[in-house]
Structure 1
Amino acid sequence: MTARRTFDVSNMLQQRLHELVPGGAHTYARGSDQYPDGMAPVLVRGAGARVWDADGNEFVEYGIGLRSVTLGHGYRPVVDAAYAAMLDGVSFSRPTELELRAAEDFLALVPGADMVKFAKNGSDVTTAAVRLARAATGRDMVALCNQPFFSVDDWFIGTTAMSAGIPETTARQAVSFGYNDLASLVRAFDAHPGRIAAVILEAATALAEPEPGFLEGVRALCDREGAVLIFDEMITGYRWSASGAQGVYGVTPDLSCWGKAMGNGFAVSALAGRRELMELGGLRTDRDRVFLLSTTHGAETAGLAAFRAVAAAYRAGDPVGVMESVGQRLTAGFNALAAEHGIADFVHAAGRPSCLIFVTKDADKAPSQAFRTLFLQEMLQGGVLGQSFVVSAAHTVDDVDATLDAARAALPVYARALEANSVEGHLEGRPVAPAIRRYAQPRRHEG
Structure 2
Amino acid sequence: MIDHGFGKSDALRARAHAMIPGGAHTYAKGDDQYPVLSPGFIARGSGSHVWDVDGNEYIEYGMGNRAVGLGHAYPEIVEAAMRAMQDGSNFTRPHMLEPACAEAFLETIPCAEMVKFCKDGSDATSGAVRLARAYTGRDMIACCADHPFFSTDDWFIGTTPMNSGIPEATRRLTTTFRYSDPDSLRDLFSQHHGKIAAVIMEASRGDDPPANYLQSVQRICHENGALLIFDEMITGFRWHVGGAQQLYGVTPDLSCFGKALGNGFSVSALAGRREIMRLGGLDHTDRPRVFLLSTTHGAETHALAAAIATMRVYRNEPVIEHLYRQGSNLRAGIEAAVRARGLEGVFKVAGRDCCLAFATLDREGQASQPFRTLFLQETIKRGILMPSLVVSYAHSDEDVNLTIEAMDGALGVYARALEDGVERHLVGRPSQVVFRRFNHADASEASARLAVVR
Say whether the fold is shared (TM-score over 0.5). Answer: yes
- Paired positions, count: 440
In structure 1, give the amino acid aligned to 2:229.
Answer: I
1:160-183 deviation line (CA, Å, top 9, x unaligned) = 111111101111001111100000
1:5 and 1:381 in contact (8 A); partners too:
no
1:11-53 deviation line (CA, Å, top 9, x unaligned) = 1111111111100000000001000124243110000000000
1:382-418 deviation line (CA, Å, top 9, x unaligned) = 0001211111111111111111221132111110111
Q: Report the counterpart of residue 113 of structure 1 in structure 2.
A: 112
In structure 2, give the amino acid aligned to 1:100.
Answer: P
Aligned CA-pair RMSD:
1.1
Structure 1 segment 266-345 matched on structure 2, within 5 A: 266-286=265-285, 287-345=287-345
- Partners of 1:428 and 1:442 lie apart in 2 by 17
1:220-270 deviation line (CA, Å, top 9, x unaligned) = 111111101100000000010111110100000000001100000000000
Q: Report the counterpart of residue 132 of structure 2 in structure 1.
A: 133
Q: Report the counterpart of residue 72 of structure 2 in structure 1.
A: 73
Q: Report the counterpart of residue 93 of structure 1 in structure 2.
A: 92
1:108-138 deviation line (CA, Å, top 9, x unaligned) = 1111111000000100010000000000111
Structure 1 segment 148-163 matched on structure 2, within 5 A: 148-163=148-163
1:301-353 deviation line (CA, Å, top 9, x unaligned) = 01100000011101111111101101111111111011111112211322111
| Structure 2 alignment gaps of length 5 or more | 443-454
Q: Report the counterpart of residue 213 of structure 1 in structure 2.
A: 212
SS of residue paired to 1:357: strand
Cα distance change of structure 1 residues 309 and 3 upon mapping to structure 2, 3 Å threshold: closer
SS of residue paired to 1:219: helix
Q: Report the counterpart of residue 452 of structure 2 in structure 1.
A: none
1:287-313 deviation line (CA, Å, top 9, x unaligned) = 100000011111110110000001110
- Partners of 1:155 and 1:384 lie apart in 2 by 36
When structure 1 is superposed on structure 2, of 396-405 and 288-297 the one drifting more is: 396-405
SS of residue paired to 1:65: helix
1:164-216 deviation line (CA, Å, top 9, x unaligned) = 1110111100111110000000000000010000100000012x321111100
- Partners of 2:108 and 2:191 lie apart in 1 by 38
In structure 2, give the amino acid aligned to 1:281.
Answer: G
In structure 2, give the amino acid aligned to 1:299.
Answer: A
1:141 and 1:196 in contact (8 A); partners too:
yes
| Structure 1 alignment gaps of length 5 or more | none
In structure 1, give the amino acid aligned to 2:32.
Answer: D
- Partners of 1:31 and 1:323 lie apart in 2 by 27
Structure 1 segment 1-150 matched on structure 2, within 5 A: 6-146=5-145, 147-150=147-150
Q: Report the counterpart of residue 185 of structure 2 in structure 1.
A: 185
2:350 and 2:356 in contact (8 A); partners too:
yes
In structure 2, give the amino acid aligned to 1:367.
Answer: A
Q: Report the counterpart of residue 429 of structure 2 in structure 1.
A: 430
1:28 and 1:436 in contact (8 A); partners too:
no
Deviation (angstroms), 1:5? 5.3
SS of residue paired to 2:229: strand
1:103 and 1:116 in contact (8 A); partners too:
yes
SS of residue paired to 2:307: helix
1:52-87 deviation line (CA, Å, top 9, x unaligned) = 001110000011100000100010000000000111
TM-score, structure 2 normalization: 0.95
- Partners of 2:335 and 2:200 lie apart in 1 by 34
1:117 and 1:293 in contact (8 A); partners too:
yes
In structure 2, give the amino acid aligned to 1:387.
Answer: P
Cα distance change of structure 1 residues 298 and 157 upon mapping to structure 2, 3 Å threshold: same
Tell me whether 1:225 sits opposite 2:192 in the alignment. Answer: no
SS of residue paired to 1:356: strand
TM-score, structure 1 normalization: 0.97
- Partners of 1:185 and 1:203 lie apart in 2 by 15
> How many percent identity over aligned positions?
54
- Partners of 1:405 and 1:132 lie apart in 2 by 49
1:36 and 1:432 in contact (8 A); partners too:
yes
SS of residue paired to 1:270: strand
- Partners of 2:323 and 2:14 lie apart in 1 by 36
In structure 2, give the amino acid aligned to 1:255.
Answer: L
Q: Report the counterpart of residue 167 of structure 1 in structure 2.
A: 167
SS of residue paired to 2:252: coil
- Partners of 1:158 and 1:442 lie apart in 2 by 20
Cα distance change of structure 1 residues 5 and 340 upon mapping to structure 2, 3 Å threshold: farther
- Partners of 1:211 and 1:55 lie apart in 2 by 46
Runs of 4+ in 1 over 3 A off after TM superposition: 2-5
2:2 and 2:381 in contact (8 A); partners too:
no
- Partners of 1:411 and 1:210 lie apart in 2 by 30
Deviation (angstroms), 1:442? 3.2
